[in-house]
């Protein structure tokens, strides 16, 4: 591991100022950062520990929306009463990820910054455009079973690993940031970047920009939601595919639909194609089949991950059926 300095501060402006220096990185729960440092993938010259910052509260606001402080732990979010009750898809997604111990350490901000589990990215002996731009992509013609089928490019097909972010995409969450130049609101769908020809650029954040909070907009009391994750084993595994669905159904007609997929995209994958099929349609098997097929229209599987097309189609269809049954 490279030598680095460690700084802990309870002052947000201090943290931003220190982390604006070249080579400095924020440290929150450390559940991903420590692995990446041990592997030699992340090599910060300075770590700024932000766990003592005030941004850890979860607050229900007067209009019913929720603000989640960026250093709130994943467990705190999953068990927050209003999130369990009304934003069920988020609670379920978080509890489907990692282990209880990791969820107690990992933070919401850290989860947003979680990096891919593409094995070639984590093994520095292999060429990887994301880790070292311009070296090539070992996964493109390599063992790509866990890689993405949506949103990839010839330069990178790494799947985004987060469960939480898939649910946030289905909830139209907004990421609030602070930096030396001020505050910004970034819709979750704009927060993660497609790889294109710059796969090393993964988020819309600039260097030294701190994730302060995540806002969950008001959700209708009549909306129902669910997160379904399919993986190689029943716990402590990343998604082969997953689906986050929010539906509101009135008299058998879908008047609100949000669909996001995990395990298949290079970013948490919002499926506008599926939503277009669902909105205004009857909540029945024919509609759900059409929506699931639409979600996979743009899929571009590689040699070892073609199974994800059928698996994601079936997973999304089943999730839609589950949510519809909750709504009726």
Which residues contribute to the site for ligand SF4 (CB under 6 A)? 116, 118, 120-121, 128-130, 137-139, 147, 156-158, 199
Cβ proximity of 118 and 160 under 8 Å = no
Residue with tokens 């260097």: 207
Token pair listed for 57 = 């509260």
- Nearest-CA neighbor of 289 among 325, 256, 315, 252? 315
Q: What is the longest distance spanned by two Cα atoms in the chain?
A: 63
- CA dihedral for 183, 186, 191, 196, sign (positive or negative): negative
Q: CA 309 → CA 148, 159, 205, 254, 294, distances in Å?
A: 10, 14, 31, 25, 11
- Nearer CB in complex with ligand SF4: 156/168: 156
Token pair listed for 97 = 């990820």
- Nearer CB in complex with ligand SF4: 84/145: 145
Q: Which residues contact 198 (CB under 8 A, 6 or more apart)?
A: 133, 155
Give the side-chain half-sphere CA count within 13 A for 253: 5
- Nearer CB in complex with ligand SF4: 137/246: 137
Count the helix, strand and coil residues of the chain and give each as a percent rounded to the nearest 5. 30, 25, 45
Q: Which helix (H) or strand (E) holds 262?
A: strand 253-262
- Nearer CB in complex with ligand SF4: 115/317: 115
- Nearer CB in complex with ligand SF4: 116/305: 116
- Nearer CB in complex with ligand SF4: 116/225: 116
Cβ proximity of 247 and 323 under 8 Å = yes
- Minimum distance from residue 120 beta carbon to ligand SF4 (Å): 3
- Minimum distance from residue 129 beta carbon to ligand SF4 (Å): 4
- Nearer CB in complex with ligand SF4: 114/147: 147
- Nearer CB in complex with ligand SF4: 26/140: 140
């Amino acid at each position: 591991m490279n030598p680095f300095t460690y700084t802990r501060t309870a002052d947000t402006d201090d943290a931003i100022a220190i982390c604006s220096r070249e080579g400095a990185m924020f440290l929150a729960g450390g559940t991903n950062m420590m692995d990446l440092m041990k592997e030699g993938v992340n090599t910060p010259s300075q770590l700024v520990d932000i766990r003592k910052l005030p941004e850890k509260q979860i607050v229900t606001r007067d209009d019913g929306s929720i603000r989640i402080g960026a250093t709130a732990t994943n467990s705190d979010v999953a068990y927050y009463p209003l999130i369990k009750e009304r934003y069920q898809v988020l609670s379920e997604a978080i509890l489907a990820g990692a282990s209880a111990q990791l969820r107690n350490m990992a933070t919401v901000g850290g989860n947003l910054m979680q990096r891919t589990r593409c094995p070639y990215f984590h093994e520095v002996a292999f060429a990887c455009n994301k880790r070292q731009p311009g070296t090539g992509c070992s996964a493109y013609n390599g063992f790509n079973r866990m890689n993405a089928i949506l949103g990839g490019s010839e330069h990178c097909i790494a799947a985004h690993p987060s469960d939480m972010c898939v649910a946030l995409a289905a909830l139209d969450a907004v990421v609030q940031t602070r930096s030396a130049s001020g505050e910004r609101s970034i819709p979750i769908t704009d927060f993660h970047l497609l790889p294109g020809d710059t796969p090393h650029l993964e988020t819309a954040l600039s260097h030294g920009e701190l994730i302060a909070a995540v806002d969950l907009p008001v959700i209708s009391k009549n909306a129902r939601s669910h997160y379904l994750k399919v993986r190689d084993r029943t716990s402590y595994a990343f998604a082969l595919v997953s689906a986050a669905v929010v539906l509101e159904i009135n008299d058998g007609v879908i008047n609100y639909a949000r669909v996001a997929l995990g395990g298949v995209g290079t970013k948490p994958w919002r499926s506008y194609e599926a939503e277009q099929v669902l909105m205004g349609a009857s909540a029945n098997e024919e509609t759900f089949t059409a929506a699931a097929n639409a979600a996979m229209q743009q899929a571009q599987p590689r040699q070892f991950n073609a199974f994800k097309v059928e698996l994601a189609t079936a997973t999304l269809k089943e999730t839609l059926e589950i949510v519809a049954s909750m709504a009726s």
